[in-house]
């Protein structure tokens, strides 16, 4: 399910978060109950291209940017269970959901983050800075605890995110800035069918039990776990089935791209249903979504502003919920 060119990358996004677009992601604050809109997927919008990392300036500023990129790409080495700085996260890297250092189209890239933060976060109901978004990823997608936002590491991450998003204007629509918002199915996503797809196309990298594949150093994962204690928790953006399905369709399995997907939209919905039906860490979401009208349609925890069940909010069908 994961490309060999993405050796340390996860298919989230789990991702869970993630989408921003999906940032959600995995870390996303989501939206209300509306049919998916694909404004950022239309070829008429400018296509974002990440700056070349070889162009990162020399000197102290450039060193900080490169350090931030390293932290996002290999988070587990610094903050994982055996991290060199702190042991405050699971076995995943930020890059598992934000592919290729947050530079890949339709893979939760960082293109618009700097331009659009601080921004109002519907989930918390508060204005959120970039550092708050990073904290959310640690708390949810990395199923751990956020590092000190005044630390040199978080400052380096912010420096890299600002660098990669240079030139993007606030509110600018960019082609491929999120993950694809797939059209809703007419029926609920089917985790049984999704299991068959997972066995056929995903287990070779992520394991029959979603355990991932440990690297030779036994500290990081060559292919990350998709459920279990070392995967994203149920507060992550990737735990929203719509986020995960779009991410999978655009990026998985081996060799898939948004231009050449290997799964149909229905298959992506179903495999997302299977993955998110499996056990994972729980995150206390009792303080989330005080304004229920802004709660995403595919968030599988009540209460809701409607009378639909948690099961339907998790798997669909979503069309009857659309206002």
User: Is 6:235 a contact under the CB 8 Å cutoff?
Assistant: no
DSSP letter at 214?
A: E
**Roughly what angle, to the nearest 10 degrees, separates helices 265-275 and 191-201?**
100
pLDDT of residue 4: 36
End-to-end Cα spacing for the chain: 35
pLDDT of residue 7: 36
User: Is 197:271 a contact under the CB 8 Å cutoff?
Assistant: yes
Of 294, 285, 288, which is closest to residue 323 (Cα–Cα)?
Answer: 294
DSSP letter at 256?
A: -
Radius of gyration of the CA atoms of the chain, in A: 18
What span, in angstroms and rounded, lies between the C-alpha atoms of 232 and 183?
25
pTM to 2 decimal places: 0.88
Of 247, 245, 298, 250, which is closest to residue 272 (Cα–Cα)?
Answer: 245
**Roughly what angle, to the nearest 10 degrees, separates helices 152-164 and 59-73?**
100
DSSP letter at 105?
A: T
- As to burial, measured by CB atoms within 10 angstroms (0-12 exposed, 13-18 middle, 19+ buried), residue 226 is buried
Of 137, 117, 139, 113, which is closest to residue 126 (Cα–Cα)?
Answer: 117
Report the 10 Å Cβ neighbour count for 275.
31
What span, in angstroms and rounded, lies between the C-alpha atoms of 245 and 82?
31
pLDDT of residue 179: 84
Per-residue pLDDT of the chain (323 residues; tens, 9 = 90+): 443 333 333 333 333 333 333 333 344 444 455 555 544 566 678 899 999 999 999 999 999 999 999 999 999 999 999 999 999 999 899 999 999 999 999 999 999 999 999 999 999 999 999 999 999 999 999 999 999 999 999 999 999 999 999 999 999 999 998 889 999 999 999 999 999 999 999 999 999 999 999 999 888 898 999 999 999 999 999 999 999 999 999 999 988 999 999 999 999 999 999 999 999 999 999 999 999 999 999 999 999 999 999 999 999 999 999 97
- CA angle, 71 then 77 then 80, to 5°: 100
Report the 10 Å Cβ neighbour count for 274.
23
pLDDT of residue 275: 98
- CA angle, 10 then 13 then 14, to 5°: 80
CA 293, chain centre distance (Å): 23
């Amino acid at each position: 399910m994961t490309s060999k060119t993405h050796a340390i990358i996860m298919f989230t996004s789990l991702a869970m978060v993630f989408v921003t677009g999906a940032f959600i992601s995995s870390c996303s604050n989501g939206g209300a109950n509306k049919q998916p809109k694909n404004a950022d997927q239309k070829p008429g919008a400018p296509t974002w291209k990440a700056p070349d990392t070889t162009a990162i300036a020399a000197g102290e500023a450039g060193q900080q940017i490169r350090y931030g990129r390293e932290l996002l790409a290999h988070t587990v080495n610094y903050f994982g269970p055996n991290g060199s700085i702190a042991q405050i996260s699971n076995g995943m890297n930020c890059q598992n959901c934000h592919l290729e250092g947050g530079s890949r189209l339709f893979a939760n890239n960082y293109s618009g983050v700097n331009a659009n933060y601080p921004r109002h976060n519907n989930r918390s109901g508060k204005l959120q800075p970039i550092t708050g978004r990073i904290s959310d990823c640690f708390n949810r997608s990395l199923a751990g605890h956020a590092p000190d936002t005044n630390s040199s590491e978080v400052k380096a991450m912010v420096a890299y995110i600002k660098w990669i998003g240079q030139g993007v204007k606030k509110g600018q629509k960019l082609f491929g800035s999120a993950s694809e918002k797939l059209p809703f199915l007419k029926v609920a996503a089917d985790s049984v069918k999704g299991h068959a797809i997972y066995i056929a196309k995903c287990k070779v990298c992520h394991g029959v039990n979603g355990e991932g594949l440990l690297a030779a150093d036994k500290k990081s994962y060559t292919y990350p776990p998709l459920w279990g204690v070392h995967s994203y928790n149920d507060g992550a953006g990737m735990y929203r089935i719509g986020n995960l399905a779009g991410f999978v369709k655009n990026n998985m399995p081996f060799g898939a791209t948004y231009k050449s997907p290997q799964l149909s939209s229905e298959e992506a919905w179903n495999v997302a249903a299977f993955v998110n039906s499996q056990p994972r860490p729980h995150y206390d979401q009792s303080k989330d979504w005080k304004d229920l009208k802004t709660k995403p349609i595919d968030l599988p925890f009540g209460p809701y502003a409607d009378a639909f069940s948690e099961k339907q909010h998790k798997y669909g069908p979503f069309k009857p919920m659309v206002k």
